[in-house]
């Protein structure tokens, strides 16, 4: 089946495009290259031996979205990654985030609901849970008020899909709530390429070890956790990519039990910032330069997934360990820096 992957040159989108192709699907990528390089296409092609169709396009252009769908009447489904994702920037530029993240979603759904049958997978985030009252976090945990416009676009995005599914029985949709994706393809052919100073922990660690950053700031060690640092559920990006393939195949096979479903995608294991640093040091044999600084505003203390729904309903679970993910992240950093 031909699957449209929006944002398919980005970090998660590129790994998902690879896994879709390896599973035998035909991939067409839309990306505006605002936060990704066209050369990622060569990386995807190198891993799979198949060049996906690529359309450079801004999904805020409603006319272009319509024209694309007219040219692709046989699309089997859409996996929608294309979105802005910097939390801090979203506070500075809320309208850019609402326009891009929600405008493009609406235009895609308008096209899909005009079809006889449509399957749609949405990139959501565990950020919708905020600081959950109980851990691990199940899909039934309440959605908490968003801490940022970025987080709000994920919450509202889910609501838009739910409301649309309610009145469009032909639309089959799944939201995947990702925990913290890290790592890179084991071939070190594709990986994360953050623009400027990385905001996320793992690229900051690998860039520090590569000599691009002086030291990692650990944001707070006075949290109520065993070592005082925050806890997250770090999932290897290839595991996360495979969850998209499984979810899409569920929709293609008509095995979904409702026309809108939500799944957590994590490992189920929480790791502290210090444990991530230790894992990096263990697998690379390198000492990481870091210092503890003040807490980062907006950080939750601990978040990790209850993965039973994905395991029981999708038949999917993460395979890679934190060490494997850190090793792959470092191999990728070394490759792109020529180390």
Tokens (6 digits) for 154:
């994920």
Does residue 25 bind ligand UD1 (CB under 6 A)? no
Cα separation, 44 vs 37, in Å, equals 12
Cα separation, 115 vs 102, in Å, equals 20
Q: Which of 11, 97, 122, 204 binds ligand UD1 (CB under 6 A)?
A: 204
Q: Which residue is nearest to ligand UD1 (CB)?
A: 230
At its nearest, how many Å lie between ligand UD1 and the CB of residue 268? 16
Site for ligand UD1 in 287-316 (CB under 6 A): 296, 298-299
- Catalogue the E-assigned strands of the chain: 2-6, 26-31, 53-56, 75-80, 118-125, 171-178, 180-182, 216-219, 231-232, 234-236, 260-265, 271-272, 290-293
Q: Which of 113, 138, 199, 308 binds ligand UD1 (CB under 6 A)?
A: 199
Cα separation, 239 vs 319, in Å, equals 7
Does residue 219 bind ligand UD1 (CB under 6 A)? yes
Applying CB under 6 A, which part among 58-66, 102-110, 113-121, 200-208 lies near ligand UD1? 200-208
HSE, CB side, 13 Å, CA atoms: give it for residue 33.
9
Considering beta carbons, is residue 201 or 305 the nearer one to ligand UD1? 201
Considering beta carbons, is residue 165 or 329 the nearer one to ligand UD1? 329
Q: Which of 57, 273, 305, 318 binds ligand UD1 (CB under 6 A)?
A: 273
Q: How many of the chain's residues bind ligand UD1 (CB under 6 A)?
A: 19
Q: Which of 127, 264, 307, 328 binds ligand UD1 (CB under 6 A)?
A: 127
216-219-222 Cα angle (round to 5): 130
Q: Which of 97, 107, 129, 150 is catalytic?
A: 150
Considering beta carbons, is residue 42 or 92 the nearer one to ligand UD1? 92
Strand partners, 31: 56
Helix (H) or strand (E) holding 16: helix 11-22
Site for ligand UD1 in 77-116 (CB under 6 A): 87
Site for ligand UD1 in 139-198 (CB under 6 A): 151, 180
Radius of gyration of the chain (CA): 19
Does residue 208 bind ligand UD1 (CB under 6 A)? no
Considering beta carbons, is residue 211 or 298 the nearer one to ligand UD1? 298
Q: Give one DSSP letter per residue of 204-266, joined into a string.
A: HHHHHHTTSSS-EEEE-S-SSSSSSS-EE-EEEHHHHHHHHHHHHHHHHTT--SSSEEEEEES
Does residue 217 bind ligand UD1 (CB under 6 A)? yes
Cα separation, 133 vs 102, in Å, equals 28
Cα–Cα nearest to 161, from 174, 146, 176, 151: 174
327-233-84 Cα angle (round to 5): 90
Considering beta carbons, is residue 16 or 168 the nearer one to ligand UD1? 16
Applying CB under 6 A, which part among 109-117, 212-220, 262-270, 311-319 lies near ligand UD1? 212-220
Whether the Cβ atoms of residue 235 and residue 180 lie closer than 8 Å to each other: yes
Query: b or e along 273-293 (b: 16 or more beta carbons within 10 Å of the residue's beta carbon)?
Result: bbbbbbbbeebbeeebebeee
Q: What is the DSSP letter of 124?
A: E
- To the query of whether residue 150 is one of the catalytic residues in this protein, the response is yes
Pattern 35-64, ligand UD1, x by CB under 6 A:
------------------------------
Considering beta carbons, is residue 83 or 171 the nearer one to ligand UD1? 83
At its nearest, how many Å lie between ligand UD1 and the CB of residue 219? 4
Q: Which of 17, 104, 125, 267 binds ligand UD1 (CB under 6 A)?
A: 125
Contact positions toward ligand UD1, by CB under 6 A? 87, 125, 127, 151, 180, 199-201, 204, 216-219, 230, 232, 273, 296, 298-299
Looking at the annotation, which residues are catalytic? Answer: 150
């Amino acid at each position: 089946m031909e699957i449209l992957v929006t944002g398919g040159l980005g970090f998660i989108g590129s790994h998902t495009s690879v896994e879709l192709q390896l599973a035998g699907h035909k991939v067409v990528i839309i990306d505006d290259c605002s936060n990704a390089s066209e050369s990622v296409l060569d990386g995807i092609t190198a891993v799979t031996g198949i060049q996906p169709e690529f359309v450079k396009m801004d999904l805020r252009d409603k006319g272009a979205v319509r024209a694309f769908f007219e040219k692709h009447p046989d699309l089997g489904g859409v996996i929608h990654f294309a979105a802005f994702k910097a939390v801090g920037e979203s506070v500075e530029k809320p309208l850019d985030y609402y326009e891009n993240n929600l405008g493009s979603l609406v235009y895609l759904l308008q096209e899909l609901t005009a079809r006889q049958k449509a399957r749609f997978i949405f990139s959501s985030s565990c950020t919708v849970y905020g600081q959950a009252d109980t851990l691990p976090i199940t899909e039934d945990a309440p959605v908490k008020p968003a801490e940022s416009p970025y987080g709000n676009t994920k919450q509202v995005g889910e609501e838009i899909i739910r409301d649309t599914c309610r009145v469009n029985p032909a639309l089959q949709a799944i939201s995947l709530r990702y925990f913290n994706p890290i790592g890179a393809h084991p071939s070190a052919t594709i990986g994360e390429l953050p623009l400027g100073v990385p905001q996320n922990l793992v690229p900051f660690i690998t860039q520090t070890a590569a000599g691009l950053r002086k030291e990692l700031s650990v944001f707070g060690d006075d949290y109520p956790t065993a070592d005082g640092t925050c806890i997250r559920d770090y999932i290897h990006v290839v595991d996360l990519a495979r969850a998209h393939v499984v979810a899409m195949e569920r929709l293609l096979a008509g095995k979904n039990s409702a026309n809108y479903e939500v799944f957590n995608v994590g490992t189920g294991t929480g790791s502290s910032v210090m444990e991530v640093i230790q894992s990096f040091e263990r697998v690379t044999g390198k000492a990481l330069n870091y210092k503890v600084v003040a807490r980062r505003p907006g950080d939750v203390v601990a978040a990790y997934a209850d993965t039973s729904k994905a395991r029981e309903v999708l038949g999917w679970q993460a395979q890679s360990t934190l060490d494997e993910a850190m090793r792959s992240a470092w191999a990728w950093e070394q490759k792109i820096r020529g180390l």
